[in-house]
Amino acid sequence: MARFQTKTLWLIAVAAAALVLLLQFCPAARRSGVLTLTLSQDKLAIDVADSPERRLYALGMLDRFRPGRGLLLVFDDGTPPRVWSKALQVEADLLWLDETRQIVGLELGARPCTQDPCPEYAPERGAVSVLVLPPGSGRDAALAPGQTVFLQPA
């Protein structure tokens, strides 16, 4: 009986170590970087998701906004910068940015969809990234199309 328990504990430890290694080296689980965004008086740490896998993973894991956090979805791979409302887990402010980080579209208070068919949120004109912020952030900072968003390395 003791030998069985020892083998079981050993297998659990090996499985846990394998899981940690898998998560460490899985490209979808790694963050590409963190930027800082200053809105009015607040500074937000912005996680960057710059590949299809990272974008999907990041949106799927966004079940709530941690205080002082946001997410930048980068679409420089030719993929249209759309956010499917079913992919959203929580209400968010969506800001579409062009290559100069100028706001080219806004969707304040975008809500997740719970019943098909679910709409997509997309800008009216060219964008290469979507800044996903806690709800109310865009309104509180009086953000509007044409403004430039300044993101700095953290």
pTM for the model stands at 0.74
Angle CA(28)–CA(60)–CA(44) in degrees, nearest 5? 85
CATH class of 31-153: mainly beta
Alpha-carbon span 90 to 59, nearest angstrom:
9
- Spell out the residues 6+ positions from residue 148 whose beta carbon is closer than 8 angstroms to its own: 100, 101, 102, 103
**Three-state secondary-structure class, residue 9:** helix
Q: How far is residue 73 CA from its own chain's centroid?
A: 6
124-147 b/e (C-beta count within 10 Å ≥ 16 → b) = eeebbbbbbbbbebbeebebeeee
pLDDT category at 109 given cuts 50, 70, 90 is very high
Computed over every residue of the chain, the mean pLDDT equals 80
In the predicted model, is pLDDT for residue 17 greater than 70?
A: no
pLDDT in tens, 28-59: 333 458 999 987 777 899 999 999 889 888 88
Whether 129 shows a pLDDT value over 90: the answer reads yes
Give, as one character, the DSSP assignment of residue 96: E
Q: Are 141 and 39 in contact (CB under 8 A)?
A: yes
pLDDT of residue 6: 66
Q: pLDDT digit string (tens) for 53-101?
A: 898 888 878 878 888 899 999 998 777 888 888 888 889 999 999 999 9
Sorted by where each begins, the domain ranges of the chain are: 1-27, 31-153
